[in-house]
A and B are shown apart, each in its own frame.
Chain A
């Protein structure tokens, strides 16, 4: 076999040597293709595996940690939630609609594979500057792709976030998360157990789409990437809807021994992973696979990434039951082989053996690397920041208006109104608050969910930024009243073979792990996406934290919008706003510098515990954490969602400047509003919890009126709510559609 052969498939010379040793002979092309896809970074995590071991993966609620298609946590009363987040960045960069749509389809399959009914979708998106035409095209394409798939399949898209920064130009991030609910005893695993059991391929036919998709996902984007458009799969949400119903019906009947979806690396991945986990092997015949087109080679069938397919293992005498259920849903189910006992994956074509490799060697024995790390030189340039770098603006109102119309702060309604966020009638907190909240039918419970990750912070300080991503997610859940349960993460980074990128990766995971331990929120599954680079360089290191929380009583919940005139506004929590890494610094002054806000776990935990108890006790009308845009923006967001004005007076002490006080960013602080009758109770609770509480104003009037005073100066923002809300709401539409 010639060197170019394996190199073309993304394998290096050492890896080829390993294959020779495993097989004791030269691989044929089918086998080489199978190794190439399974040993890609996307499938094997060969570069990240060792670092990921830092994550805590268990607490008293975890039923299933990483290693299967999704993690599962207990929520009481015999119920559990399964959830996972995954990236589809590269496909979306060249074919935004299908790239995003199939990202959604893939993550949904990961959830119902576990036996869970998918009940909610979230997504975390990053794009370049909206001033660029190509970015507008990518952004609208991705949003309609997510809408197209999620709406059609009937799973509400209830939350997520979108940020824009030049760093993502040419390499957008599309991370999709799905949450499902199940009874404990319905947990299904991707394991091929029982020698002689039948292996069935169900769902869509297999075509040539997505050949070598995972290899494509494991390299940098370049000019040739456009030519790899055929490596992007095409989604059919209708087919997947039928597949969900049919598979859940079968799982309900208890006839499924093992089940796994076909995603990246297609049949190769499903057969080898299921065998490897089950300690078995499989013998399949590709001539039994229903094809979409004629003349496909065995290697193409084995690595095709055609969507909406599942691999099932059932006892031989249950074949007919499976076929009957699939018939009802007008889907095909084909027996393509059987489970064997010798640990080998054997692939035949009309009986003729075309591949024979140990399952474990594909699924578990990919080489593991320890890429080199180096402290990034850019950090020396970006870290010092002095106030002198930031000229003090003259007009407070002008700055405020610029801030609320920044695409990173402006309303995301243009996005979420395209998503059906209400179907299944369980969405209790709709998009636009700190976290989405769904009720669990038949119980008093609710589950809250959020995604968070500030790439700018992580770029400036990967360790601190990693911690903040977790803290912020937990804080968002706490604002709704929910107790954080566990985390799924999607780690989006540049090329890990570059030492500076790998240093970012290592430090970020270290920071996240620390925070996950502090909040007792283990990482129960997730995804790593490397090679997010274009000719212009790597993206901001962007870990996305998907977090799910539990609310024992859905009636005890809280949202961000102000509720009624006369409520008092309190600023809760300790901390001094700082300009480093803030939206203010970037959007108003064009600077990306300084250190992200400091995070003190003790303060943070006190604040979150205070918020949850205050919500539970029914003391709060609203709760909203301070994040991008700081206090000035957080105050306005409460007005926007509650349609109520405010009057706030802030006194300034020490050397703090008014612009930093209003728009600097901080951790561990939140705004709460409450009826004056609860003032005494909230003060007592805050004291008990050791959380400082500062009364800063009240809800009322038709204006956003915020006054900053010190001995020397006085700045006031006093603008009609109707006017500023229109600007905030329309900003993104204005940029995209004009």
Chain B
């Protein structure tokens, strides 16, 4: 399976996503430069974390207008797998591939901590192997406070599109386990078809035990499993 990692000016976690796919998952991977529209035949596009365009205007806002995103929108509409992590999630909401917005953290401070995620939907290509699990995956962001209007939230709930919620290590959804004040402890959501996932936590930072957790690997394993079945 071939992955593409997008590089915008100010992407920081492009290297981490690239490394995890290549060295931990042993899959093909290529960088996709923001000015180019060619997705180079990738099967799954990763929009990595970072501070694209320095977060100027709004996080993800300027990046969402770049040529590569134009192609990604088309790719997603055709059912292609698109995973947006952290700033990548912000790009996806700005590009209208996912609903809602990511506000400044309730603490008004950046947060870099390990969080626990309850997998609420294990039917997506990203969570097939994560059924009923609590995943230990870190967050690192200043704007991860997910918000959507009440109607959208209702729809997300009804269509089972809230994929991850912050929880305690035991899987309880509590206020204390939420690092940013997001609505309903939302940590990640998907589109209607389930092929586009946006999440604030960084699975690529939790791919190896030496980094404190390998739970992030379950997400990449799921993608491979899904791809294997599809073919």
Contacts and interface: CB of A to CB of B under 8 A. Distances in A.
Interface in A374-431: 416-425, 427-428, 430
Given A239-B54, A329-B9, 15 more contacts: A151-B142, A237-B51, A238-B9, A238-B51, A238-B53, A417-B113, A422-B112, A422-B138, A422-B140, A422-B211, A423-B16, A424-B16, A425-B15, A428-B211, A430-B212
A425 B204 contact: yes
B58 interface: no
A419 B110 contact: yes
B111 A425 contact: no
Contact of A242 (B9, B16, B19): B9
B221 interface: no
Chain B: interface secondary structure? mixed
Contacts of A329: 9
Q: Which 5 A-B pairs have the closest CB atoms?
A: A238-B54, A154-B12, A152-B51, A420-B140, A425-B16
B152 interface: no
Interface in B36-84: 49-51, 53-56
Contacts, number: 85
A239 B51 CA distance: 11
A236 B54 contact: yes
B109 interface: yes
B112 A418 contact: yes
B46 to A, nearest CB: 14
A441 interface: yes
Contacts of A430: 212
Interface string A134-152: 0000000000100110011
A475 interface: no
**In the complex, which range does the number of interface residues on chain A fall in?**
20 to 34
A471 interface: no
28 contacts: A151-B51, A151-B142, A152-B54, A152-B55, A154-B12, A154-B51, A238-B10, A238-B55, A242-B9, A418-B110, A418-B112, A419-B110, A419-B112, A420-B140, A422-B112, A422-B202, A422-B211, A423-B12, A423-B140, A424-B12, A425-B15, A425-B16, A425-B19, A425-B204, A425-B207, A428-B211, A439-B210, A441-B19
A554 interface: yes
B32 interface: no
B112 A238 contact: no
Nearest to B108: A144
B54 A420 contact: no
A154 B112 contact: no
Interface in B199-219: 202, 204-205, 207, 210-212
Nearest to B49: A423
Interface string A559-586: 0000000000000000000000000000
A349 interface: no
Nearest to B204: A425
Contacts of B142: 151
Contact of A420 (B20, B55, B110): B110
Contacts of A237: 51, 54
A593 interface: no
A417 B107 CA distance: 12
A425 B113 contact: no
B112 A417 contact: yes
Interface string B120-161: 000000000000000000101010000000000000000000
B5 interface: no
B206 to A, nearest CB: 9
Contacts of A419: 110, 112
Contacts of A184: none
B10 A241 contact: yes
B13 interface: yes
Contacts of B207: 425
Interface string A421-458: 11111011010000000010100000000000000000
Interface in A537-565: 554
Interface in A140-183: 144, 147-148, 151-154
- Among A239, A241, A242, A441, find the residue whose CB has the most chain B CB atoms closer than 10 A: A241
B156 to A, nearest CB: 28
Contacts of A421: 112
Nearest to B113: A417
A330 interface: yes
Contacts of A241: 9-10, 12, 51, 54
B10 A423 contact: no
A236 B212 CA distance: 32
Nearest to B16: A425
A396 to B, nearest CB: 32
Contact of B109 (A418, A420, A425, A439): A418
B228 to A, nearest CB: 26
A737 to B, nearest CB: 9
A36 B116 CA distance: 56
B195 to A, nearest CB: 26
Contacts of A151: 51, 110, 112, 140, 142
Interface string B1-37: 0000000011011011001100000000000000000
A592 B15 CA distance: 49
A327 to B, nearest CB: 11
A54 B40 CA distance: 59
B19 to A, nearest CB: 6
A422 B54 contact: no
Contacts of B15: 424-425
B66 to A, nearest CB: 12
B23 to A, nearest CB: 8
A28 to B, nearest CB: 39
Contacts of B51: 151-154, 237-238, 241
A483 B210 CA distance: 20
Contact of B13 (A144, A148, A423, A441): A423
Contacts of B210: 428, 439, 554
Contacts of B205: 422-423, 425
Nearest to B14: A154
Interface string A36-68: 000000000000000000000000000000000
